[in-house]
Amino acid sequence: MEDMRKTIQQNDDTKQLERDLTNAIKARYPLIWLKTTEERRVLEIITNVVAKRNRKAYVYDIVRLWTSISEWTTSTTQRQEFNKDLRGESLEEALDSVLENRDSESIFIFPDFHVINTYQSPIVFVRRLKYMSERLRAGRASVIFISHSLELPQELRDIVHTMEAKPPGLRELIGEITRVASEVEVSDSEMDATARAALGLSLNQASRLFSMAIIASPKDPSKWVLIVTQGKRDIVRGSGAMEFFSPQECPTDLGGLKILKEWLERRKQAFTKEAEEYGLPLPGGVALIGIPGTGKSLAAKFIAGSWGLPLLRLDLGAVFGSLAGQSEENIRRALQMAEAIAPCVLWIDEIEKGVQTEGLDAGTSARVFASLLTWMQEKLRPVFVVATANDVEKIPPELLRKGRFDEVFFLDLPIEKERIEIFEVHLRRVRRDPEKFDIKKLVRASEKFVGAEIEQVVREALYKAFNEGKREPTTEDILDALKRTVPLSEAKKEVIERLQLWLKNRQAISASEEEPKEVEMIGIPRLEKD
């Protein structure tokens, strides 16, 4: 989709953070807690803020003690104008020194301040910061604590103003690749495409991938997008809970599910600029419930592939961590990445396993679930959510209500017409011509087989033919594989009947068109002619 909705893709989060910091300082907030993993980038933003207000800023860390902020954001080794009255042989002394300079209209910055949660006597810091807050209110200085977490002691939440630095937007990434590729001849369109491929990454991560792309392909910038995308996939996978797929990695063919595909086709153009100008609302997402093996996972990938959008797979089970607050932080980070990459498809696989709020986890599941629900209801970025589930009984009813998803579809056992398409798709995927097989015979023999089982019998027939002299597989090979396979519809008959009953109660829309039925005209009296 070439004309993706550029005007809504990136609100400039960096400019917004700069405005928020400016307003907090103008409002004379004494203590500001800023969450970020990009220390240098945030210090550069703070530099812009203080420069516009003609203020000075100083940074304290345990290695260099007090330094001017310019020593962190520029390459010079010379100490610029510095307040010699600042003391800091220890963190406690540095905090006391801030109080002594509270009328200086300066900004005092403390990186790595999550130390407060691991300090041997955190109550000392809590009391000290409470005391500082009262004294600083009467002065003109502000203190900014930088941390990778928003988890601060409960006693401080009422006196500390918290904010979060989101990943760099498109404008900032274009600026970074322009700087990195300053000596390479590259078009604006190639620069823009490469920057878009890095959306969702930190500035440091993006800069490393830009450098790698330039080194790997200095004379062919058209390859940069692929290099950055591959590197991004590895970075996202390293996060543990997310997996990234580019649009080119997702299939554009899907057997059956006609009703679902028609529904998706009507929303395919919803991310274009024309749709925005028309006033068309952005689609929010879809829930795919049904029998295992009927193509729910494939459908999620199909949506991304056919719409030309990147796909993020979120494993809710991997979100949960052992440390206090870790699970909530993981889900926030995952959703933040999805918004940064938008427009995209966010696939929440087997969502029922991650939203069960009962258990002995001290309410962690409930908080993660609440965070997900709130985000789904209030998200402003074009993130299309696809939630797949096998066991509808384990899904909280509030998740499936209107407003969370645009529609809920049920994927049942494929009908005869769908099995024709499924056989054709899987035969083409193994580079075989469906015209050379008796598809009708295969369809009759595969009644109540799901798509995954059909895929497997095609593969089994291929293995058999290969081991028998590398001959071409035949219809009989596939029929033989079908006879030796016990379908899920027989092995899990009660489970499937329970799911089908849920569909009959109209809890969802069938993703398939109805099986045509023959109507018998018996017992209808003929009309006699006058």
Q: Per CATH, the architecture of 9-164 is what?
A: 3-Layer(aba) Sandwich (3.40)
- Amino acid identity of residue 248, one-letter, is Q
Fold classified for 416-491: Helicase, Ruva Protein; domain 3 (1.10.8)
For the cut 60, the answer to whether the pLDDT of residue 155 exceeds it is yes
CA 283 to chain centre: 16
How much is the pTM?
A: 0.75
Residue 485 C-beta-side C-alpha neighbours within 13 Å: 25
Q: Are 288 and 388 in contact (CB under 8 A)?
A: yes
Superfamily in which the 247-411 domain is placed by CATH? P-loop containing nucleotide triphosphate hydrolases (3.40.50.300)
Q: Are 388 and 487 in contact (CB under 8 A)?
A: no
What is the secondary structure of 186-198 as a DSSP string? Answer: --HHHHHHHHHHT
CA 221 to chain centre: 27
Reported confidence tier of residue 524, pLDDT bands at 50, 70, 90: very low
Confidence at residue 75, expressed as pLDDT on a 0 to 100 scale:
52
Confidence at residue 424, expressed as pLDDT on a 0 to 100 scale:
93
Share of the chain above pLDDT 70, in %: 87
What is the secondary structure of 111-139 as a DSSP string? Answer: SSGGGGGTSS-HHHHHHHHHHHHHHHHTS
Confidence at residue 359, expressed as pLDDT on a 0 to 100 scale:
52
Q: Are 171 and 12 in contact (CB under 8 A)?
A: yes
pLDDT, tens digit (0-9, with 9 covering 90-100), for 278-324: 888 888 899 998 888 888 999 999 999 999 888 999 888 777 765 55
Domain ranges of the chain: 9-164, 170-238, 247-411, 416-491
Report the range of poorest mean pLDDT among 70-79, 237-246, 306-315, 384-393: 70-79
The token pair at 192 is 């823009």
Confidence at residue 478, expressed as pLDDT on a 0 to 100 scale:
94
Q: Is the CA virtual torsion 58, 61, 64, 69 positive or negative?
A: negative
**SS3 (DSSP) at 170:** helix
491 vs 17: CA distance, rounded Å = 56
Higher confidence at residue 379 or residue 397? Answer: 379
pLDDT, tens digit (0-9, with 9 covering 90-100), for 72-81: 877 544 444 5
CA dihedral of residues 11, 16, 18, 20 (deg, nearest 10): -170
**SS3 (DSSP) at 381:** coil
Are 247-411 and 416-491 the same fold in CATH? no
Tokens 């005391």 belong to 131
Q: Are 412 and 509 in contact (CB under 8 A)?
A: no
- Please return the burial class of 255, using the count of CB atoms within 10 Å of its CB with bins 0-12, 13-18 and 19+: buried
For the cut 80, the answer to whether the pLDDT of residue 88 exceeds it is no
Q: How far is residue 165 from each of residues 33, 147, 224, 257, measured CA to CA in Å?
A: 11, 11, 27, 42
Count CB-CB contacts under 10 A for residue 395: 18
Angle between the N-to-C axes of helices 188-197 and 170-180, in degrees from 0 to 180, rounded to the nearest 10: 120
Confidence at residue 212, expressed as pLDDT on a 0 to 100 scale:
92
Q: Are 354 and 318 in contact (CB under 8 A)?
A: no
Angle between the N-to-C axes of helices 39-52 and 203-216, in degrees from 0 to 180, rounded to the nearest 10: 110
Confidence at residue 404, expressed as pLDDT on a 0 to 100 scale:
80
- Please return the burial class of 329, using the count of CB atoms within 10 Å of its CB with bins 0-12, 13-18 and 19+: middle
Report the range of poorest mean pLDDT among 301-315, 393-407, 439-453, 462-476: 393-407
Q: Are 46 and 34 in contact (CB under 8 A)?
A: no
> Which residue in 490, 418, 426, 483 sits closest to 454, CA to CA?
426
Q: How far is residue 103 from each of residues 30, 55, 107, 220, 471, measured CA to CA in Å?
A: 12, 12, 11, 56, 87
- Point out which residues pair with 4 in neighbouring strands: 272
- Amino acid identity of residue 204, one-letter, is N
**SS3 (DSSP) at 344:** strand
432 vs 471: CA distance, rounded Å = 12
Q: Is the CA virtual torsion 488, 491, 495, 496 positive or negative?
A: positive
Tokens 């970025």 belong to 381
